[in-house]
Amino acid sequence: MPYKARNKHRHKFKKKKYKITNWPEYNESLKKRGDLTIWFTESAIANWIEPRRNYSGRGRPKKYSNLAVETSLFIRQVYHLPLRQTEGFIRSILKMLRLPISMMEFSNISKRSTNLKIGY
């Protein structure tokens, strides 16, 4: 009710009207908003899986490289996704591109992201 009491004293701003003059260009730009272009380089595909090496540390050796974790975190940050949705999103991209690599689970992304040193 506070706005109704002094309604006649409030400032009245006219809503600005936008006029589209080039409809085909505007229509095409609206279509391009939904375009998703992601590509993986050959080196990224080759380095996605950690190469087998002699591992003398404790625990299981890492299957996925740091590049895979960095890529997952980058896509997560760009699209504001939770980890589970990031996993599903990247799996669907890999499936659409028919790449011979698999995606790590969201729990591995979470665990590996805490110790990851990103050097930009």
| Residue range 35-56, pLDDT digits in tens | 788 888 898 888 888 877 776 7
Q: Is residue 69 a contact partner of residue 109, using CB atoms and an 8 Å limit?
A: yes
Give residue 52's pLDDT: 75
Count of other CB atoms within 10 angstroms of residue 63: 13
Residues paired with 64 in a beta bridge? 49
The set of residues, in sequence order, having a beta carbon less than 8 Å from that of 69 and lying 6+ positions away, is 104, 108, 109, 112, 113, 116
Give me 2's structure tokens.
């506070």
pLDDT tens string 66-94: 889 998 999 999 999 999 999 999 999 99
Give residue 84's pLDDT: 94
